[in-house]
Amino acid sequence: MNHEQGKTKGYRPPHSPPEENRLLESCLQQNLDVLRRVAQNTSDLVIREFEVSGIAAALVLCEGMFSLVAAGQNVLAPLSTLRLRHATPQKLLEAVRNNLLLAVDQGEIFTVGEVYRFIMSGFGVLLIDGVNCGVRLALQGFSFRSVSEPSGEVNLRGSREGFTEPLRINMSLIRRRIKSPSLKFELLTLGTQSKTDAFLVYLTDAVSSDLLQRVKSDLKKVNLEQVLDTGYLQPFLERRRPLSFFSGIGITERPDTACAKISEGRVVLLLDGTPMALVLPYLFSEHFQSFDDYALRPYYALFIRCLKYLAFFMTILLPGTYVAVGTFHPQLLPRELLYNITASMQPTPFSLMTEALLIHFFYEVMREAGLRLPRPVGHAVSIAGGLVIGDVAVKAGLIGTPLVLVVALTAISAFVVPTLYEPVTVLRFLFILAGGFWGLFGIGLGFALVLCNLCALTAGQVPVTAPGSPLRLYSMRDMLFRQSWAKLGQQVMEVNQVPGSRPPTPKEGSS
């Protein structure tokens, strides 16, 4: 629905109903009527009306979003025992404002829209008859997943904490690690209907103002009704020029990784309801780095990084190269291997390219099925898939045995750099086609163009291939080889110092 509407030229998302901008009145019943009308009598709107020293008041809440204990003990109990002499609405408000400690986060709000937004975020709002404002009280008590180790970014050493869904908890996970006053959380609200809270997190003394302006101006262009995940925002932040399989935006679930990126002058975007934080800008070489690299000895970090680069190239190029060599350049293979491949291919009815495409297609189907199915069933699918590919398909004469080895190697290698899984999968198929049609020339040309495309990509004015190209040796100290902390710690390398970074042109800046 969103996409369909979004395609229409000149589309503007529906504005908030005018009643949401309406100021609160002095009359309690009138305010409650408007609230019920705005909420369209939704079942989860809880309105508890009561009297305090003879003055009518109401606590407005959202079912399931607040803590019953906190509401009862901290708000209703003190208010029900409150006795004011010559009570007036203003005196009651003064008492709530100055004498009663109903909640740690407490303040006044003035519009119907604010009341609605706060109660939907788990706050309670106290409305008093005769007062034209409400008092918001932090009573959040919704259930959420606890802080746990992120399954997608497991490390041997370092913290076991990962981001979770509630935004405030993620905020605290970062704040606990960077206690500097220059760490700033900037609150944004995204989505015209969902009104999702988001935080831009950065160090004011490290971030480039151009980068910050760019991110803010991109986020202003988000004209979606619902923002349910950071993936919704990524296209707005990427400004896809040129079209590319790769992205200049990173994703992390780890607060320690996010903090490291923030300290390098990057901007991290946290969104309520998702543990996936966006990191801008994100260089290509960072896909091959992990938090473990900085905890382990530098020589081992170098070894692991080399391994990751090799695995990345292998997973993209190996099937295509196998098809190319087997089809067009058999002279490149050692004689014994060539005989084996020829013997294994003889009973199969398909060309090497078709075999490779089929087997990779089957593999992706099984992987996807294993991923989405309930875990016990997923394991069964994996085992059945393994048997089908590894044994039955070969025996049935559908594929040759060496291709099974190629698929297995390719599949395992793809998980060495999990953040690049999406481009890797699609590129693998493209390289099989290129190798099948044009041999090594196709592989070479395709590879050159993929690298050209990658080199053309910039993330917030920083070339994603930096600091490898454009080259600066000093910036290379943490690309392939990681220098020891004694040297790395001498000066923090900020992302806007990466070679090739440039301020936006006036045209880009104004857009």
Instruction: Give the binding site for other proteins (CB under 8 A).
Output: 242, 328-329, 332, 334-335, 438-445, 447-449, 451-453, 455-456, 463, 465, 468-471, 500, 505, 507-508
DSSP string over 173-205 = HHHTT---TTEEEEEEEE-TTT-EEEEEEEETT
Nearer Cβ to other proteins (310/471): 471
Nearer Cβ to other proteins (404/480): 480
Closest distance of CB 312 from other proteins, Å: 14
Nearer Cβ to other proteins (224/443): 443
Closest distance of CB 506 from other proteins, Å: 11
Pairing of strands 45-52, 196-203: unpaired
Closest distance of CB 434 from other proteins, Å: 9
Residue with structure tokens 């040129």? 242
Nearer Cβ to other proteins (197/286): 286
Closest distance of CB 287 from other proteins, Å: 16
Closest distance of CB 454 from other proteins, Å: 8
Closest CA relative to residue 195, chosen from 166, 215, 154, 224:
224
Question: Is the bond leading into 89 cis (omega within 30 degrees of zero)?
Answer: no
Q: Which two tokens stand for residue 424?
A: 């890797």
DSSP string over 215-272 = HHHHHHT---S---SGGGTHHHHH--SS--SS-S-EEE--HHHHHHHHHTT-EEEEET
Nearer Cβ to other proteins (173/325): 325
Closest CA relative to residue 232, chosen from 281, 198, 185, 256:
198
Nearer Cβ to other proteins (48/239): 239
Nearer Cβ to other proteins (238/272): 238
The answer to whether 504 and 466 are in contact (CB under 8 A) is no
For 148, 328, 330, 391, 508, the CA distances from 399, given in Å and listed in that order, are 43, 19, 18, 10, 52
Closest distance of CB 464 from other proteins, Å: 10
**Any idea what DSSP says for residue 15?**
P
Closest distance of CB 451 from other proteins, Å: 5
Closest distance of CB 333 from other proteins, Å: 9
- DSSP three-state, residue 66: strand
Nearer Cβ to other proteins (28/314): 314
Nearer Cβ to other proteins (112/325): 325
Residues 6+ apart with CB under 8 A from 393: 359, 362, 399, 404
The answer to whether 196 and 190 are in contact (CB under 8 A) is yes
The answer to whether 185 and 479 are in contact (CB under 8 A) is no
Closest distance of CB 291 from other proteins, Å: 27
